[in-house]
């Protein structure tokens, strides 16, 4: 376990360019640690992640879980190897990223308006329930 970096340090890392990234082909659960079943997140199909610990290609020990970091938000959690289906993902900076910036920038006023409306509501959180906001 001492071979991997502190998750907080990983979250602050910004240079992902030399990392091998993988795309999930199935939904999978994320756990707090290597052994317990305390669920901390659900990771949806098509999310991008990298393997942190252990290096399963160089290890002779059989592992049931590996530590991963999600690309989009840097979140770190443990996932089960059993049922894991991934494919290598090439991340390239393209013109699309620039277009996405303008698309997102145009949506900011609508998002702020929606957040203001939501802050006026009384909400009760239901575990595992997500309703996609309508913009």
Domain ranges of the chain: 7-89
Is the backbone of residue 112 left (phi > 0), alpha (psi -120 to 50) or beta? alpha
Q: According to the model, what pLDDT value does residue 93 have?
A: 56
Render pLDDT for 105-135 as a digit per residue (tens, 0 to 9): 777 888 899 888 888 887 666 666 556 666 5
CATH superfamily of 7-89: SH3 Domains (2.30.30.40)
CB atoms within 10 A of CB 67: 22
Asked if omega into 94 is within 30° of 0 (cis), the reply is no
Q: How far apart are the first and last CA of the chain?
A: 44
Q: What average pLDDT score do residues 91-104 get?
A: 60
Label residue 104 by pLDDT band (50, 70, 90). Answer: confident
15-58 pLDDT, tens per residue?
445 678 899 999 999 999 999 999 999 999 999 999 888 755 55
Q: Has residue 5 got a pLDDT over 60?
A: no
Alpha carbon of residue 36 to chain centroid: 20
């Amino acid at each position: 376990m001492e071979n991997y970096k502190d998750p907080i340090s990983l979250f602050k890392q910004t240079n992902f360019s030399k990392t091998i990234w993988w795309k999930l082909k199935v939904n999978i659960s994320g756990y707090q640690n290597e052994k317990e079943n305390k669920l901390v997140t659900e990771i949806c199909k098509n999310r991008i992640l990298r393997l942190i610990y252990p290096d399963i290609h160089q290890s002779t020990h059989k592992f049931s879980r590996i530590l991963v970091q999600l690309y989009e938000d840097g979140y770190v959690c443990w996932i089960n190897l059993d049922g894991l289906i991934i494919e290598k993902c090439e991340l390239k900076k393209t013109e699309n990223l620039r277009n996405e910036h303008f698309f997102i920038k145009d949506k900011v006023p609508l998002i702020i308006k929606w957040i203001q409306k939501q802050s006026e509501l009384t909400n009760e959180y239901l575990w595992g329930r997500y309703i996609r906001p309508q913009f």
